[in-house]
Structure 1
Amino acid sequence: MEAASAAKKRKSDLGQEPLGSGNGVSESSLDLISWLPDEVLGSVLSLLPTKAGARTQILSRRWRPLWRAAPLNLGVDSDLSGQDQKRIIFVSKILSDHSGPARRFALPGIRLRDRYAKIDSWLRSRALTGLREIEFHYQIDNPQLPYPLPPSALRFAPTLCVADFGYCDFAREMAPLLKFLCLKQLTLNNVIVLEDALHSLLCGCPVLESLLLDGNVGFGRLRINSPTLRSIGIMASPDRERVENHIILQDLIIEDAPCLERLLPIDPDDGPATIWVVRARKLEILGLLSNVITKLDLGTTVFQKMIALSLTASMRHTILALESWGPNLDSVVDFLKCFPCLQKLYVVSHLQKSRKNKRSYNLLDPVECLESHLRQVVMNYRGMRLDVDFAKFFVLNAKVLKKMVFGSGYANTTNSDNWMTNQHRWLQLDKRASQGARFKFIGVSDLIPHEHYKRTHDLWVDDPFDSHFCR
């Protein structure tokens, strides 16, 4: 009876306040969205930006109470207001007016100043009860001052599914008490946290699937033991001055991660210097790797500065991204000997004119991935002799290659018929080993997305290095 009464009331409201002009409306012009149940409309509203969600209250009597009852999605950013002081006022009012529960609370760059008590009161608000997603970043004004994360930001540990903390300081005493029972995505960005506190934090995440660590300090070694973790993105070097006296990550050790599928060093120039993978039987995606990584230990194979100490064909990886100076054909091919199942190769090369790429393919010592598995190669390409010789090796020897993408960085050259004719001739595309291979020249040099590390959490994306230029 109550449901029928509610539906009848909604129908009455629609009849009184139809969309469009005039008193008479046809059935096809009715606002059918408003007929949806409150729970469905509330879910829709919780996905809208804060201001857009609040504005739905003016649509009609039917919509007036929905936003205050829907799960709150509160983003304290320029979309809420272009003025810092007004944002503070709006947040306080929204939290006092909304009855909760909350889905998301985002402070992407809040100035601390004298607002610690104000921020703490927001985090303790009843409107944020049951919070599922939090983004908390300070904006650093004075690198010499402390920027403590309020303990109240962690009261949502039992319900959080997504957490992103940045430019703040974790107190050591916080971590041992935390149990993030529902947390699946964790980002720590330029956070100061000690090693024992970080390990305690990660141990309290029993269902964690993706972890992004970007420029954090306070710990020199990180050990990963997780039965659920599928993706790790990591960069060691911080980007703020006040951490100059803190420890920077040097060693990453994957001790036991049976579900780990991807390991993504964000920028190898910024560490960690050594990476050990002890047990990660599902690891398939690896990179960006370079010789700046002093030691890379992948189970039975050890690399020192991208040189394999033993050419053991044991790696089961299918996608690999490498940084190469030259590019260095000998180094890359020897590296590939350890990856017999490789299907996609990305090469970010830096010009080194003293390099010579004169390697011939030895049929008595075949590279297994070139014989049976490598289907795509993506590389930045300047059309110089070094690039030509490097790329030609794959053109002539990758027997199941389907696609090769060249990023020249110069749109005017790739649009030149003469330039393209020369490249086709020099690369000997008519003699390609795989007759079904396609070759694509693009006037963009950075074919790997500059912020590919943000795909650490995009587990539905099969290839985190794939950009629309490569498709």
Structure 2
Amino acid sequence: MEAAAVAPAAKKRKPDRIDGQDPPGNHDGDEILDLISHLPDEVLCTIVSLLHTKDGARTQAVARRWRPLWRSAPLNLQVDDRLSGQDHKRFRIVSKILADHPGPALRLSLRGIRLRNPYAKINGWLHSPTLNGLQELEFVCGMEEHGLLPYRLPRSVFCFAPTLHVAKICYCQFPNEMAASLNFPCLEQLTLAGVTLSEDVLHSLLSACPVLQSLLLDGNIGIGRLRIISKTLRSISVGGPWDRQTAVGFEELVIQDAPSLERLLPRNPDYGPAKIRVVRAPKLEILGLLPEGICKVEPVTRVFQETIALSLTTSMQTVKVLALVSVGPNLDLVVDFLKCFPCLEQLYISSDLKNFMRNKRAYNALDPIECLERHLRKVVVKKYHGMRPDVDFAKFFVLNAKVLKKMEFDVCVSFNAKWMANQHRRLQLDNRASKGAEFNFETGNGRYYPSSMYTHSLLKVNPFNLWNTYWDEANM
């Protein structure tokens, strides 16, 4: 009998994996290494907590090792159409999540909630032990089915006041009787949009936030005058009610004492505030869009200029970025503003063109404008048409901004090489005051409001560099 020596086939070594891990297979049927699962549990839990609720729960099916992570991770509970398109199913899912997840809770987002029928159930959710220690709350009410009256905000929302760091409340009536007893010792970001409340209640609410850093107020009803006194606020964005026929319009914003304020961003010049007074804001660097009323209504302009005169040495000299709305554009009014901001480095102008405007103002070398002489390095002209009023307006900066580095034109009309050559001649670019300046023409979309995301992002970012971003996730 012939003995056949057959060498055993070498076994292909499978990659190492964590005990209990079920790695997926590749197209050849071989197992591949799951590198993500090698991360520590703390990192994986952080990843899971940043996902939408539905996606976070689905991670339990990734592998055996992932199964306990969702319940170990801080809960991010987002109650919206993505969780389920059916109201009754969505409510059933949320109740199950709160029963199964032990907490702690990081974030609760309730969007488009109609409170008439599910009021009791939502109150039950808010009192769930799973939500103890909640840090972020988003509560966006729906409107009543018959009429436009907003729902009343549930009092149980305020059980999270001691631990909240971020709060966003929209489209509701604020329970005024709660204001005096509120205290938000940890709250750093506050958004109120489409909320009905009185001035006294708002001031009481703000005084209950001792560490507040960013504030967004937009479309709220019942606020005619707002006075800001805060040692910690760094960024403020404000706008009046969206319905101009409302009984109380947003007439005046007073920055009384805000030693940490860096950015003041009116939301939309069309809705107010009509007047802005800056009494003390020694770190203010970014200002605008300034309301159109300040540019064209003489009494408001005088109020603004008087305030600047009183605080020029402490406040307005710090402003480096300014954004204005100018009808016309009106060169005389814009130049008057430039005199009030001597250290201005970047200027953004959005103009509603009026053919009757005549911008023939000559620069007086005996009465120099400090920012034009020493500091202004960038000018952006939005909604540029290339007609005589905006050509003469822009030419003033071409011929007089001594240290200009870049001038950008956001053009509202179609243009070609011939149009560009004509603009080059009419703007007298060959005679520019700053020989190293660049001039760029780009097609624009006419939008000019900065994204509200920059209200709460405290990074050193100029919101007007990206002010094509008008409507974002922070706009409900």
> In the alignment, what sits opposite 2:284?
283
1:18 pairs, out of 23, 45, 49, with 23
Q: What does 1:189-208 align with in structure 2 at a 5 Å threshold?
A: 189-208=193-212
Q: How far apart in 2 are the matches of 1:70 and 1:46?
A: 6
For the 8 Å contact 2:108–2:134, the answer to whether it is kept is yes
3-state SS of the aligned residue for 1:62?
helix
Match of 2:360 in 1: 358
Percent identity of the aligned residues?
Answer: 57
Q: Which residue of 2 aligns with 1:5?
A: none
Q: Secondary structure, in 3 states, of the residue corresponding to 1:46?
A: helix
Give TM-score, length-normalised by structure 1. 0.88
Structure 1, 205-214 or 68-77: larger mean CA deviation: 68-77
Aligned to 1:304: 302
- The answer on whether the counterparts of 1:230 and 1:259 sit within 8 Å (CA) in structure 2 is yes
Matched, 1:167 2:181: no
Q: Cα 1:143–1:292, aligned 2, differ >3 Å: closer, same or farther?
A: farther
Which residue of structure 1 lines up, in the alignment, with residue 92 of structure 2?
Answer: 89
- Deviation of 1:134 after TM superposition, in Å, equals 0.7
Shift of 1:306: 7.1
- CA distance in structure 1 between the aligned counterparts of 2:452 and 2:302, rounded to whole angstroms: 24
Would you say the 8 A contact 2:295–2:325 is kept in 1? no
Q: After TM superposition, give the deviation of residue 305 of structure 1 in Å.
A: 8.0
CA deviation profile, 1:227-249 (whole Å, cap 9, x unmatched): 100111111124498xx45x343
SS of residue in 2 equivalent to 1:208? coil
Go from structure 1 to structure 2 and tell me whether the alpha carbon gap of 1:179 and 1:294 turns closer, same or farther (over 3 Å shift).
Answer: farther
> Aligned runs of 1:148-297 on 2, under 5 Å?
148-239=152-243, 244-245=246-247, 247-293=248-294
Query: What is the identity, as a one-letter code, of the residue corresponding to 2:421?
Result: T
SS of the counterpart of 2:220?
A: coil
Match of 2:435 in 1: 435
Query: Which residue among 375, 389, 393 is the counterpart of 1:390?
Result: 393
Cα distance in structure 2, aligned partners of 1:34 and 1:111: 40
Distance in 2 (alpha carbons) for counterparts of 1:169 and 1:466: 36
Of residues 100-109 and 226-235 in structure 1, the stretch that sits farther from structure 2 once superposed is 100-109
- State which of 63, 66, 86 in structure 2 corresponds to 1:63: 66
Looking at structure 2, the residues matched to 146 and 296 of structure 1 have their Cα atoms a distance apart, in angstroms, of 34
Q: Shift in Å at residue 124 of structure 1?
A: 1.2
1:240 and 1:435 mapped to 2: Cα distance? Answer: 47
- Which amino acid is 1:176 matched to? A
Amino acid at match of 1:254: I
Matched, 1:419 2:408: no
Could you say if the C-alpha distance between residues 11 and 218 of structure 1 is closer, same or farther in structure 2, counting changes exceeding 3 Å?
same
Counterpart CA distance in 2 for 1:260 and 1:45 is 35
Please give the per-residue CA displacement for 1:91-133, whole angstroms capped at 9, x wherever unaligned. 2222222111111111122122311111111111122111111
Letter in 2 for 1:345: L
Local SS of the residue matching 1:357: coil
- Which residue is 1:3 aligned to? none
Provide the rounded CA distance (Å) in 2 between the counterparts of 1:254 and 1:232.
10
CA distance in 1, matches of 2:386, 2:445: 12
Choose the corresponding residue for 2:338, options 336, 339, 342.
336
Deviation at 1:41, TM superposition (A): 1.1
Could you tell me whether the CA contact under 8 Å between 1:261 and 1:282 is conserved in 2?
yes
**Partners in 2 of 1:370 and 1:445 — Cα distance?**
28
Deviation at 1:293, TM superposition (A): 3.6
8 Å CA contact 2:133–2:163 kept in 1: the answer is yes
Runs (4 or more) in structure 1 with deviation over 6 Å come to: 294-297, 305-313
Equivalent position of 1:452 in the other structure = 451
CA contact (8 A) 1:274 1:296 kept: no
Instruction: State the shift of 1:291 in Å.
Output: 4.2
Secondary structure of 2:134's partner? coil
Per the TM alignment, residue 310 of structure 1 is displaced from its structure 2 partner at its CA by: 8.5
Q: Flag the 1:377–1:308 CA change in 2: closer, same or farther, 3 A.
A: farther
C-alpha distance 137-176 of structure 1, shift in aligned 2 (>3 A):
same
> Does the C-alpha gap of structure 1 residues 402 and 146 become closer, same or farther in structure 2, counting only changes over 3 Å?
closer
Cα distance change, pair 146–240 in 1 and its aligned pair in 2 (3 A): farther
2:424 maps to amino acid? H
Cα deviation per residue 1:14-62 (whole Å; 9 max; x = unaligned)? 3xx233258865xxx3223223222221111000111111110111111
Contact 2:60 2:68 in 1 (8 A): yes
Q: 1:196 to 1:310 in 2, by over 3 A?
A: closer
8 Å contact kept, 2:250–2:271: no
| 8 A Cα contact 2:199 2:224, kept in partner | yes
Q: Distance in 2 between matches of 1:310 and 1:218?
A: 28
Give the conservation status (yes or no) of the 8 Å contact 2:76–2:107.
yes
Question: What is the CA–CA distance in structure 1 between the aligned matches of 2:305 and 2:320, rounded to whole Å?
Answer: 19
Amino acid in structure 2 at the alignment position of 1:19: P
> What SS does the aligned partner of 1:303 have?
helix
Partner of 1:400: 403
2:349 equivalent in structure 1: 347
1:266 CA drift (Å)? 1.0
After superposition, the CA RMSD in angstroms is 2.6
**Matches of 1:469 and 1:199, distance apart in 2:** 33
Deviation at 1:445, TM superposition (A): 4.3
Cα displacement (A) at 1:344: 0.6
Q: Aligned residue for 2:472? A: none
Residue 223 (structure 1) shift: 1.8
Alpha-carbon distance in 2 for matches of 1:222, 1:284: 21
- Contact residue 442 and residue 469 of structure 1 kept, 8 A: no
Following superposition, the deviation at residue 452 of structure 1 comes to: 2.5
Query: Whole-Å Cα distance in 1 between the matches of residues 239 and 291 of structure 2?
Result: 13
Which letter maps to 1:444? G
Shift of 1:149: 0.9
* Equivalent of residue 45 in structure 1, options 32, 48, 54: 48
- SS in structure 2 opposite 1:140? coil
* Counterpart Cα distance in 1 of 2:296 and 2:118: 45
Secondary structure (helix, strand or coil) at the match of 1:455 reads: helix
The answer on whether the counterparts of 1:268 and 1:293 sit within 8 Å (CA) in structure 2 is no
Aligned-pair distance for 1:79? 2.0
1:303: how far off?
3.0
Unaligned runs of 5+ in 2: 1-16, 470-476
What is the aligned residue count?
Answer: 446
2:381 partner amino acid: M
- CA 143–460 in structure 1, closer or farther in 2 if over 3 Å, else same: farther
Take 1:304 and 1:103, find their aligned partners in 2: how far apart are those partners?
Answer: 48
Q: 1:7 — aligned with what?
A: none
Distance between the aligned counterparts of 1:219 and 1:284, measured in 2? 26
